[in-house]
Structure 1
């Protein structure tokens, strides 16, 4: 199946980025729909193609590939509206790009005779301009009806992406949610983790923004190590070395000066013990010693200083 005409329903960061890249890849964007005429016009201008409209059915009519890039909460409703309008048919492939949901949101498309696909990039898109730069080179989750798989994979190639192969994947909501939770953990929770780390410096009187500038080279260096060495080999630090005394000192200092930071520290330390074991830098005995230290701290046992 070699569908080449595209409609973008939802003219936000994702829709604009995808539309622009597909146009660059030889696809023809025929329609761009948004809630307001101004947003639709701006999106069509950014993409460089497509008739702007506030009517989703009009935008989708005649397009072989219909991307629903709206907020997750309205994807199903938009698909139902398109199906009821007659804008979808046997020549259509309807695609959403939500990481947290599976093909089920597009069930109305099946009733209209259309095929379905899900393409989700493992990427954070802060703006449409950034999306154009960062989507190429990203991995994508690809889920599709059997007759639409070739089309879905061709779209990933056109976007400059790579399919993430997950042999244990099943087309259900739990698989989608588990996949999305992984993305949230390494992206959204990473931001929260950096904020948590800054609190240690704020407890010592440092300005938050200055502390962020101070730790950014460390963060960047760590990411370079992960890219070059992988996990667990990129792990460094006291737990990697089996340095119980340094960890003991951290816990004692937190008890005295920043007790509100200790809970997450201990949870992260437990996970790091497992990484160190995987790396082979500590043995089972040292791992047990570290875990006992963290457990005693959790239970309120006084830590010798």
Structure 2
């Protein structure tokens, strides 16, 4: 069984670490964070490994997972390569959705095989995700030797593996941003609009929740065009224009958002009518 070092013991590192530990896909070795208490808490969450603060005392492992922030991936890899922690036959991968495996150039130069792994999931509730990870789609790109190791490991944790092109990572990740991050922002705008119209916060949530849940259900059951309702779907552009003015007068950012959604919604409505 290959030994795995986890560098960056945040939510992603913890969730993946627990999956790999429970499935025995890897032997968890060192779990590294800048803060020793955080690293220790991560070891407890994962179920195995040895907590370390910083890279000073890290020893080489068969496999290294860099689950650090995107802007720290390259520098962390370079620092570890400079310490001779990568060698031919080892595998190094990072967990960014937007960044490609070419950020790990210093590991490649040392003879390691490199890859990028991205679980397509929300990590807001790490405990729940860790206990319901089976079926999660994980996108993967990188060197063939790295993929030959990581694909069976992901299959062992019952993930669904999708191989993607490094050149398309930013566009691919934008899809996840629209489907998750910006959806949250949109719901915040909806709740604020209700409240600005005089609706108490608890009632605003009670109004938005069934609309949002049913709309999402409709999207995945019926398709996006069929799921679209409201004034644009009805062709009532006069209402859209008046609403645009009212929303912009209330909040300029919300007005810009409303305006930005209008043209693609018109295109979607045209598909609905065909």
TM-score, scaled to structure 2? 0.88
Residue in structure 1 matching 2:179, options 186, 193, 213: 186
Q: Distance in 1 between matches of 2:220 and 2:228?
A: 12
More deviation, 102-111/122-131: 122-131
> Aligned equivalents of 1:202 and 1:42: distance in 2?
39
Map 1:244-283 to 2 at 5 A.
244=236, 247-255=237-245, 259=249, 260=251, 261-279=254-272, 281=273
Q: Secondary structure at the match of 2:226?
A: coil
- Note closer, same or farther for the CA distance 1:19–1:267 as it changes in structure 2 (3 Å cut): same
Distance 2:232 2:88 in 1: 58
The residue aligned with 1:36 is 35
Aligned-pair CA distance for 1:84? 1.7
Q: CA RMSD in A?
A: 2.2
Q: Is the 8 A contact 1:60 1:66 kept in 2?
A: no
Gaps of 5+ in 2: none
Q: Given the superposition, is the C-alpha separation of residues 143 and 257 from structure 1 closer, same or farther in structure 2, using an over 3 Å criterion? A: closer
Q: Deviations over 1:9-50 (max 9, x none)?
A: 111111111110111111211111111221221111111111
1:234 to 2:227 alignment: yes
Structure 2 CA distance for aligned equivalents of residues 180 and 187 of structure 1:
11
Q: Secondary structure at the match of 2:198?
A: coil
Q: Any gaps of 5 or more consecutive residues in structure 1?
A: 283-305
- Structure 2 Cα separation of the partners of residues 128 and 74 of structure 1: 21
For residue 158 of structure 1, report the CA deviation from its aligned partner: 2.9
Cα distance in 2 between the residues matched to 1:257 and 1:10: 42
For the Cα contact (< 8 Å) 2:244–2:259, is it kept in 1?
A: no
- Matched positions, count: 270
Q: Which residue, 14, 18, 21 being the options, matches 2:19? A: 21
| Structure label with greater radius of gyration | 1
Using the size of structure 1 for normalisation, the TM-score is 0.80
